[in-house]
Amino acid sequence: MDTTLPSGLLEVQHHQIDQGIEGIVDSTGKPLALAASLALLREHVYLEEAVLFPPLAKMGLAMPVSVMQREHGEIWPMIRSLEVACAAGATAKTLRKDANWLLQRLKVHNTKEEEVVYTAADRYEAASLDASLVKAMAAARMPENWACAMAPH
């Protein structure tokens, strides 16, 4: 994957996130690896919502962006729940059911995101003279206690 393109950078993160979750689901991983994947997932969602989605919505992808944000909001409570469980010392076995739920939703979500949103992001980046999205993603830092736009309150 070409990590100089938005799609490459974000797809690498998808794979890293999936690995930590899959380890719990298939009984080969540890809660510490899941916690790291969940932290990366929150940062990944932040990059998408704060950096990637605004310019894509302006270029005519408001509907796909809205769908992605809605799906982020649907998975957000599970991300937080699993993070709390990991921090409390939950075992891989007790995390398995919820990790599987999250993994299944991410597989569907990520496929749509990669095919529609990331393809558009690469087109946007190619039209930009300064590689603005990749630079902005590299510079972005998620604020403490940030939550996605459609997270339940």
134/118: higher pLDDT: 118
| Residue 138 scores a pLDDT above 80 | yes
At residue 126, the pLDDT reads 87
From the list 49, 37, 46, the residue with the least C-alpha distance to 13 is 37
Does the pLDDT value for residue 130 go beyond 70?
no
Distance CA 68, CA 45 (A): 10
Quick one: pLDDT band at residue 132, thresholds 50, 70, 90? confident
Residues 6+ apart with CB under 8 A from 43: 142
Q: Is the pLDDT of residue 63 over 90?
A: yes
Per the CB < 8 A criterion, the answer to whether 133 and 123 are in contact is: no
